[in-house]
Copies of this chain bind each other. A is one copy, B any other.
């Protein structure tokens, strides 16, 4: 435990100045040591570090933020209501990945929901006040004004799941198209003939790409695409159930379903059960995300794994690079990166 040592005023924490006095150096030198500048002699550095340890000095973040015009914090913005966030493992997995990537850093992570108009309002204020150095945007809808607002405010931002093929922000995504193809090719390989698809929210680009992958995989295998086998959902369990019921009504002969998320698949499973269909005997089921749900489902769910942890890490890397680039405001428009990571099919008992 660090001794608390001498204090300028009672109750206050030690300041840079006090550390400087203790170490017999100037304020600037202490600042250099704290910030890891190389332009300090070894002897001086040691003396300062000793003083820091003796006094139990911790830099005052507010003062630093004010003087340096940075906050050492980034926000993870989720443009969905809280309820949705906690219901979908995708978000919490992402948060975990981001958190892990960030724990090597001095950066602080803020979690911000922007589901309601009210929350949007607060967020706008928040961003306008530049309370964060950068923003991570997760699962954005096609018509969301948030990305443009960020561009306008010149706040570094990375988006997970681009809004379109022409995304202007730096983005990180998994290969939704390829993942969907893997799923459908797998089902075809198992001899399934009538493969339905319950989509995600179609105003999310990734959901569209999964539909594209579904279509192309069928076509290339010589199947024709029956639009009656495609039912729009919204990634939720309730919609998965509803969509499954609709599909069973329209095409009672279907023998496989590719759901756009594990949660959707869970909903579909309920509907299949109630309709008396056995999984996988009567109907094979494949999900997307390979979340905890997939492993715990009965039967365990075959699912397309996205490397979410890796995605989080890449997002952080890119964002921090943009934040760092900011300081010399030279090179802008140097080609936004669009990172796409491969998916992997995890086969389980449901297919």
- Interface residues, chain A, CB within 8 Å of chain B? 13, 56, 58-63, 65-66, 71, 82-83, 86-87, 89, 92, 95-96, 99, 103, 108-111, 113, 118-119, 122, 125, 128-131, 292
**How far is the CB of A85 from the nearest CB of chain B, in Å?**
9
Q: How far is the CA of A95 from the CA of B130 in the complex (A)?
A: 25
**How far is the CB of A115 from the nearest CB of chain B, in Å?**
11
Closest 10 CB pairs of A and B: A62-B65, A62-B66, A86-B92, A58-B129, A58-B128, A63-B66, A62-B62, A66-B66, A82-B96, A61-B131
Interface of A, secondary structure class, is helix
**How far is the CB of A319 from the nearest CB of chain B, in Å?**
19
For this complex, 25 residue pairs linking A to B, each with C-beta atoms less than 8 Å apart, are: A13-B128, A58-B125, A58-B128, A58-B129, A59-B129, A60-B66, A60-B129, A61-B129, A61-B131, A62-B63, A62-B65, A62-B66, A62-B71, A66-B66, A82-B95, A82-B96, A82-B99, A83-B96, A86-B89, A86-B92, A86-B95, A103-B118, A103-B122, A108-B131, A110-B110
- The residues of B that contact A86 with a CB separation of less than 8 Å are 89, 92, 95-96
Copies of this chain held together in the complex: 2
- The residues of B that contact A118 with a CB separation of less than 8 Å are 103
Q: How far is the CA of A270 from the CA of B62 in the complex (A)?
A: 51
Q: How far is the CA of A92 from the CA of B65 in the complex (A)?
A: 31
**How far is the CB of A13 from the nearest CB of chain B, in Å?**
7
Q: How far is the CA of A96 from the CA of B59 in the complex (A)?
A: 32
**How far is the CB of A83 from the nearest CB of chain B, in Å?**
7
In the complex, are the beta carbons of B82 and A128 less than 8 A apart? Answer: no
In the complex, are the beta carbons of A103 and B119 less than 8 A apart? Answer: yes
In the complex, are the beta carbons of A110 and B108 less than 8 A apart? Answer: yes
Q: How far is the CA of A122 from the CA of B107 in the complex (A)?
A: 11
**How far is the CB of A17 from the nearest CB of chain B, in Å?**
15
**How far is the CB of A170 from the nearest CB of chain B, in Å?**
22
**How far is the CB of A166 from the nearest CB of chain B, in Å?**
24
Q: How far is the CA of A118 from the CA of B104 in the complex (A)?
A: 10
In the complex, are the beta carbons of A13 and B66 less than 8 A apart? Answer: no
**How far is the CB of A194 from the nearest CB of chain B, in Å?**
28
**How far is the CB of A278 from the nearest CB of chain B, in Å?**
16
- The residues of B that contact A60 with a CB separation of less than 8 Å are 66, 129
Please judge, given known A-B contacts A60-B66, A66-B62, whether A113 and B99 are in contact too, CB under 8 Å.
Answer: yes
In the complex, are the beta carbons of B56 and A128 less than 8 A apart? Answer: yes
**How far is the CB of A309 from the nearest CB of chain B, in Å?**
11
- The residues of B that contact A59 with a CB separation of less than 8 Å are 129
- The residues of B that contact A113 with a CB separation of less than 8 Å are 99
**How far is the CB of A143 from the nearest CB of chain B, in Å?**
17
- The residues of B that contact A292 with a CB separation of less than 8 Å are 87
- The residues of B that contact A122 with a CB separation of less than 8 Å are 103
- The residues of B that contact A65 with a CB separation of less than 8 Å are 61-62, 65
